[in-house]
Chain A
């Protein structure tokens, strides 16, 4: 359905790229202002990570995810996409699950951060971690910490009455059902495809009727 105008534009588009190729890395729209020499800016920030206060001096560009992984060596929080498209970087900040890749460290001054390492350790697993093992709710393990952080948060969100896309009655309390858990977990991609087992693990922890979840 490409009409003549579109065809012309597309040809111009091709040509424009050809010309632009002489100098790539084009200037973004907002950057017409002549830039001064780009020097990194660092700032002090204090975080309360898994119950321990951490005082840091970071580049303002550093994300919460990179502070956890690169500065604090808490590598349980994973970088899967760095753009909020996979959920592998899920942590709790101020009691709420967020994508730590889309948050600057300097914006978390004084915040309580809980990562997978704060939920449990190999010797003392959180019930959700144990349930993931029991139900084989993981394979390669890379999305797993994010899945577990989300799983813990999802059960809390249902309990707190936060509605979801599949909640039938907006004004009623949501229930722990398979559909509710699947919808709320959808921000955590697992390419190995452990979804069915993850929901079983969550149902186990929630004390939900797993037979009902399987339906």
Chain B
């Protein structure tokens, strides 16, 4: 870990300004992913702006009937919130399916959105990785890729977005609210928040330098039966091979987003339209154009089967 200076910011705009002012600065909130990467010098900020004192830790109603989740609300607090459990069950379910109790106590809403891939070649600084070191090549292509993406990849990178929370937010049409150093705020639809790798896999989100996430908003509840079905080798404390966030209405219509298969939470309009027509019909548009490797081709069948399991579970709990 390289040496860095450290300051505690008092307001969101001041935090953004501090980050702009200092070259190589990064925000730190929970730190559960950033410190992990700093120890390996995959991240090497020269200055840390601690945002924990920004009071962005509330969950409150929005005028439109939805909720605003402060960027610093911990995963545990978000999953435990009465309103979230009642109206946005898929989000609670997704969060408690991820990481461990300890990590969820520390991990924040904004930080979780920004967590980086768990690709083992990204994590090993001796290996080529276009995401870590642009232009160095991709070790995962032609290497061990069982966990990695089958769709939305590029010839430069097949890393998977590893999170669960964002998959549920994707199915709920969340918006990510930010502020920059000039004090300008904007709202980014979750669909546009995570980027496909293309030729620049090191650029992972729509955030501009210094831009700070202040909150995530969810539109008014959509009802339905909420399911997050996460498939992994061990029963807990593991990243998804495939996960399905689904909201299923009584008539079988609904929405679905998939985790564990793409560089970002994966949702396709055609799949939502096919809800009610069986898992195969839902899976097909989601996987159109998939380019799996030998190691992870099983994910194609697994997506369909997990969608089936999720829909079955939604019916049971409706």
Binding site for B on A (CB under 8 A): 1-3, 5-7, 9-17, 20, 24-31, 33, 35-36, 38-41, 43, 59-61, 63, 82-84, 87, 90, 96-99, 101-104, 106-107, 109, 150, 153-154, 157, 160-165, 167, 170-171, 182-184, 186-189
B146 to chain A, nearest CB (A): 13
Binding site for A on B (CB under 8 A): 1-6, 8, 23-24, 26, 28, 30-32, 35-36, 38-39, 41-46, 48, 50, 52, 76, 79-80, 82, 85-86, 89, 92-93, 96-97, 99-103, 105-106, 125-128, 131-139, 141-143, 155-156, 202, 235-237, 291-294, 297
- B23 adjacent to A170 (CB under 8 Å): no
- A164 adjacent to B3 (CB under 8 Å): no
- A107 adjacent to B133 (CB under 8 Å): no
Partner of A31, one of B3, B24, B30, B52: B24
> A6: which B residues are within 8 A, CB to CB?
141-142, 155, 293
> B41: which A residues are within 8 A, CB to CB?
25, 28
B295 to chain A, nearest CB (A): 9
Bound together, the chains give a CA A162 to CA B80 distance in angstroms of 5
> B32: which A residues are within 8 A, CB to CB?
84, 99, 102
B34 to chain A, nearest CB (A): 9
> A15: which B residues are within 8 A, CB to CB?
137
Which residue of chain B has the shortest Cβ distance to A12 in the bound complex? B137
> A87: which B residues are within 8 A, CB to CB?
100, 102
- B128 adjacent to A102 (CB under 8 Å): no
B185 to chain A, nearest CB (A): 25
- A13 adjacent to B128 (CB under 8 Å): yes
- B293 adjacent to A83 (CB under 8 Å): no
A67 to chain B, nearest CB (A): 14
> A109: which B residues are within 8 A, CB to CB?
8
> B125: which A residues are within 8 A, CB to CB?
24-26
Q: Given the known inter-chain contacts A99-B32, A165-B97, please indicate yes or no for A26 contacting B136, CB distance below 8 A.
A: yes
- B139 adjacent to A1 (CB under 8 Å): no
